Structure 1
């Protein structure tokens, strides 16, 4: 980029940015979140110097940010194969953060709300393309929500609850049935998570493809800032609860 620019995010994980030997997904995620905040600084810098930085260099930054999100989803997929249940209620998130989760992540449609709040100079053609994309994404969201409901109904209404409720007195063959039911549940949740993450990443890439590089910078900066604030608010609420006081006004 021409002129002064903020330092590039530092990768403290292994060479490809994924989980290093002996590293937990939680540890990876903390490093990933640190780099996300560093990317946020770069995005804000570009916003503040709009017009002084070539589109080519802006596009390079946008591509790097998208690759950063892709790295997260790729690493999360590996972690899901090890323990998918934890990813649906991650203990490294605050309770407040977990209220925003939809199939172990933010709902893809949130991207369109961020666009509406951060981009005011779209052309009519861009608006038409985004409207079509929104409808397509909403339809897939519904399919995944319906599938999640079927998985949950299978747990509550099926044999899994019955078998689990009398684990100590299972007769011959029932222990195998319980194991098979648990494996089917795990596999179903893993497929759901991967499909939801694929939709999240596909939505982000499709939205960015419609926008100009500088518009994309505004959207990606707004998204990163929203996630940062949700994290900060969650930590504030946790501190208030531990202190036994009333929840403080949420501050950015």
Structure 2
């Protein structure tokens, strides 16, 4: 995928294209055989997961370039609905949301397969996470919370110094540069968190997790856009 996302308007166009391509990738994930029954199926799932992760990496690459050109637009997020913006943490989704999603999907699938599980049958899906996987998810969650707190503290310090911008007591470029650095740290944590979770899952579980994550994103966006449209027509 190409594109530099020059400023808010350019990134808005990029985001619409990127989101449409994510829809296409999710359709491929949904159509993939689960559980995989042959070595080829395992390879297919691995390849699809790799494509989706590359797609997310491209999003953050272009966003980083756009932030360098117009950092304030990245925080205003004109491409997002009001509902999406209300859920943002430093201009995008909160990294620890990933863990809530894993636990939620695991619980739902576990309950739906509980009879099979009690009989000793393995489903291989997100409802069948091993004790080792749960431990690693918990450890990763703790690490992510610590990083979130550190980034949020840095962001809060930047906000507390905003009066210096108004009173012209500071170098504006230096202040905005610090804001870009904080955004990049937050985006890096978002991408690393998804990658880390995917790496500790089996290919089948990774596919299910990525589908759930994308469907949550699609759902929130759809509700938000519908709300904005309804509000605008009044």
TM bucket normalised to smaller: 0.7 to 0.9
C-alpha deviations, 1:20-69, integer Å up to 9, x for none?
899812111111010011111112112x6433462111011001100000
Q: Does 1:161 align with 2:151?
A: no
Residue equivalent to 1:32:
18
CA contact (8 A) 2:83 2:224 kept: yes
Q: Tell me what 2:209 maps to.
A: 219
Matches of 2:129 and 2:196, distance apart in 1: 15
- The answer to whether 1:44 aligns with 2:30 is yes
**8 Å Cα contact 1:18/1:71 also seen in 2:** no
Q: Matches of 2:56 and 2:79 in 1, distance apart? A: 18
CA contact (8 A) 1:137 1:203 kept: yes
CA contact (8 A) 1:144 1:192 kept: yes
Q: Which residue of 2 aligns with 1:190?
A: 180
2:174, 2:211 → 1: CA distance?
Answer: 39
User: Which of 64, 69, 88 is 1:101 aligned to?
Assistant: 88
* Unmatched 5+ stretches in structure 2: 106-125
Question: Alpha carbon RMSD of aligned pairs, Å?
Answer: 1.9
Cα–Cα, structure 1 residues 45 and 76, in superposed 2: closer, same or farther, change >3 Å?
Answer: same
Higher fraction of helix: 2
1:130 aligns with 2:117: no
Task: For structure 1, list consecutive stretches of 5 or more residues without a partner in the other structure.
Answer: 1-15, 164-176, 245-252
The answer to whether the aligner puts 1:17 opposite 2:22 as a matched pair is no
- How many residue pairs match? The answer is 211
CA distance in 2, matches of 1:202, 1:51: 26
**How far apart in 1 are the matches of 2:34 and 2:139?**
32
Task: For 1:189 and 1:214, locate their aligned partners in 2 and report how far apart those are by CA, in whole Å.
Answer: 38
Q: Does residue 242 of the first structure (1) align with residue 227 of the second (2)?
A: no
Query: Highest Rg: 1 or 2?
Result: 1
SS of residue paired to 1:24: helix
Distance in 1, matches of 2:94 and 2:4, equals: 25
Structure 1 residue 103, shift from structure 2 partner: 1.0
